A and B are shown apart, each in its own frame.
Chain A
Amino acid sequence: MSDQEARRFVIDHFWVAFAAFALACVLGVYQVLERSGIIPAIQSPAVYFASVSTHGVLMAYVLTTFFIMGFGYYVATTSLKMPIWNKPLAKTGYWIALGGTVMAAIPLLLGKASVLYTFYPPVQANVLFYLGATLLVVGSWFWAGIMLVMLHQWKVAHPGETVPLPMYANAANAILWLWTSVGVALEMLFQLLPWALGLMDTIDVGLARTLFAWTLHPIVYFWLIPAYIAFYVFVPAAAGGKLFSDELARVSFIMIMVFGLPIGFHHLYVDPEQAAGWKLAHGIGTFAVAIPTLLTGFTVIASLEVAGRKRGGHGLFGWIGALPWRNPMVLAAILSLLMLMLGGFGGMINASYAMNTMVHNTAWVPGHFHLIFAGTVITMYFAIAYYLWPKLTGKQLCSASLPTLQLWSWFIGMAILTTPWHVLGLLGQPRRISDVTYNTLLTLAWDPYELAMILGGCVLLASALLFVYILFQTQTKGAEEPDRAVAYAEPLHPVVKLPAMLNGFGLWNRVILVLMIVSFAVPIGQFFFMDSFSPSAWGY
Chain B
Amino acid sequence: MHINPLERKWVYVSLGMVGLFVASIVLTAITEGVHPPSNVETVDSASLHLGDEFAEDKLGVRQQPDGSLRVTLVAARYGFYPNHIEIPADTPVTFRMASVDVLHAAHIPMTNMSTMVVPGYVSQITTTFPKPGDYPMLCNEYCGLGHDHMWSKVTVVAKEEWHGVAAAEQQGSKP
Q: Which residues of A contact B (CB under 8 A)?
A: 45-46, 49, 114, 116, 120, 122-123, 204-206, 209, 244-245, 247-248, 268-276, 279-280, 283-284, 287-288, 290-291, 294-295, 298-299, 302, 348, 352-354, 356-358, 360-362, 427-438, 440, 442, 493, 497-499, 502, 526, 530-536, 538-540
The segment from B33-41, B55-63, B156-164, B166-174 found at the interface with A is B33-41
**B4/A244 in contact, CB under 8 A:** yes
Chain B residues lying within 8 Å of A276, measured Cβ to Cβ, are 29, 35-36, 38
**A123/B102 in contact, CB under 8 A:** yes
Q: How far is the CB of B26 from chain A (nearest CB, A)?
A: 7
Of residues 37 through 79 on chain B, the ones whose CB sits less than 8 Å from some CB of chain A are: 37-46
Bound-complex Cα distance A274 to B39 (A)? 7
Of A204, A272, A438, A536, which contacts B116 at CB under 8 A? A272
A116-B142, A272-B40 given; A438·B118 CB < 8 A = no
Bound-complex Cα distance A428 to B147 (A)? 15
Q: Would you call B151 an interface residue if the criterion is a C-beta within 8 Å of the partner chain's C-beta atoms?
A: yes
**A298/B10 in contact, CB under 8 A:** yes
Q: Which residue of B lies closest to A123 (CB)?
A: B102
Q: How far is the CB of A300 from chain B (nearest CB, A)?
A: 12
> Please, could you name 24 A-B residue pairs with CB atoms under 8 Å apart, sorted by A?
A45-B146, A45-B147, A122-B102, A123-B102, A270-B37, A272-B40, A272-B124, A276-B36, A280-B29, A283-B25, A291-B18, A295-B10, A348-B21, A354-B35, A428-B107, A428-B138, A429-B109, A430-B140, A432-B141, A433-B148, A438-B151, A440-B136, A532-B42, A540-B144
**A45/B148 in contact, CB under 8 A:** yes
Known A123-B143, A295-B14; further 17 A-B contacts with Cβ < 8 A: A45-B147, A49-B142, A122-B103, A268-B116, A273-B120, A295-B11, A353-B29, A358-B112, A361-B116, A430-B139, A430-B140, A437-B149, A502-B1, A532-B42, A533-B120, A535-B101, A540-B144
**A438/B138 in contact, CB under 8 A:** yes
**B38/A275 in contact, CB under 8 A:** yes
**A428/B18 in contact, CB under 8 A:** no
A270-B105, A428-B109 given; A49·B35 CB < 8 A = no
Chain B residues lying within 8 Å of A434, measured Cβ to Cβ, are 147-148
**A361/B107 in contact, CB under 8 A:** yes
A123-B144, A279-B38 given; A291·B15 CB < 8 A = yes
Chain B residues lying within 8 Å of A294, measured Cβ to Cβ, are 10, 14, 17-18
Q: How far is the CB of B104 from chain A (nearest CB, A)?
A: 10
Chain A residues lying within 8 Å of B18, measured Cβ to Cβ, are 287-288, 290-291, 294
Chain B residues lying within 8 Å of A274, measured Cβ to Cβ, are 38, 40
Q: How far is the CB of B146 from chain A (nearest CB, A)?
A: 7
For B, the interface residue count at a CB cutoff of 8 angstroms equals 66
**B102/A270 in contact, CB under 8 A:** no
Bound-complex Cα distance A533 to B114 (A)? 23
**A354/B28 in contact, CB under 8 A:** yes
**A45/B118 in contact, CB under 8 A:** no
Bound-complex Cα distance A205 to B42 (A)? 11
Q: How far is the CB of B58 from chain A (nearest CB, A)?
A: 19
Interface residues of chain A: helix, strand, loop or mixed (majority): loop
**B1/A499 in contact, CB under 8 A:** yes
Q: Would you call B122 an interface residue if the criterion is a C-beta within 8 Å of the partner chain's C-beta atoms?
A: yes
Q: How far is the CB of A390 from chain B (nearest CB, A)?
A: 34
**B7/A245 in contact, CB under 8 A:** yes
Q: How far is the CB of B158 from chain A (nearest CB, A)?
A: 19
**B145/A540 in contact, CB under 8 A:** yes
Chain A residues lying within 8 Å of B118, measured Cβ to Cβ, are 205-206, 209, 271-273
Of B25, B28, B34, B119, which contacts A122 at CB under 8 A? B119
Chain B residues lying within 8 Å of A502, measured Cβ to Cβ, are 1
**A245/B3 in contact, CB under 8 A:** yes
Chain A residues lying within 8 Å of B145, measured Cβ to Cβ, are 45-46, 49, 114, 540
Q: How far is the CB of A432 from chain B (nearest CB, A)?
A: 4
Bound-complex Cα distance A362 to B11 (A)? 33
**B114/A358 in contact, CB under 8 A:** yes
Q: How far is the CB of B101 from chain A (nearest CB, A)?
A: 6
Chain A residues lying within 8 Å of B10, measured Cβ to Cβ, are 294-295, 298
Q: Would you call B93 an interface residue if the criterion is a C-beta within 8 Å of the partner chain's C-beta atoms?
A: no
Chain B residues lying within 8 Å of A532, measured Cβ to Cβ, are 42, 120
Q: Which residue of A lies closest to B29 (CB)?
A: A280
Of B42, B45, B144, which contacts A530 at CB under 8 A? B42
- Which one of A49, A247, A276, A284 has the greatest number of beta carbons of chain B within 10 Å? A276
Bound-complex Cα distance A435 to B146 (A)? 10
A244-B4, A352-B21, A440-B136 given; A206·B107 CB < 8 A = no
- Across chains A and B, which 8 residue pairs bring their CB atoms closest together, nearest first? A428-B109, A430-B140, A276-B38, A294-B14, A361-B140, A533-B44, A272-B121, A432-B142
A298-B7, A357-B114, A533-B43 given; A206·B14 CB < 8 A = no
Q: Which residue of A lies closest to B146 (CB)?
A: A45
**B119/A272 in contact, CB under 8 A:** no
Q: How far is the CB of B144 from chain A (nearest CB, A)?
A: 4
Bound-complex Cα distance A356 to B151 (A)? 21
**B109/A353 in contact, CB under 8 A:** no
A245-B7, A361-B107 given; A270·B148 CB < 8 A = no
Q: Would you call B117 an interface residue if the criterion is a C-beta within 8 Å of the partner chain's C-beta atoms?
A: yes
A204-B120, A348-B21, A438-B151 given; A362·B38 CB < 8 A = no
**A272/B36 in contact, CB under 8 A:** no
Chain A residues lying within 8 Å of B45, measured Cβ to Cβ, are 533, 535
Q: Which residue of A lies closest to B21 (CB)?
A: A287
Bound-complex Cα distance A282 to B92 (A)? 28
A45-B148, A438-B138, A538-B102 given; A270·B35 CB < 8 A = no
- Which one of B3, B29, B140 has the greatest number of beta carbons of chain A within 10 Å? B140
**A248/B3 in contact, CB under 8 A:** yes
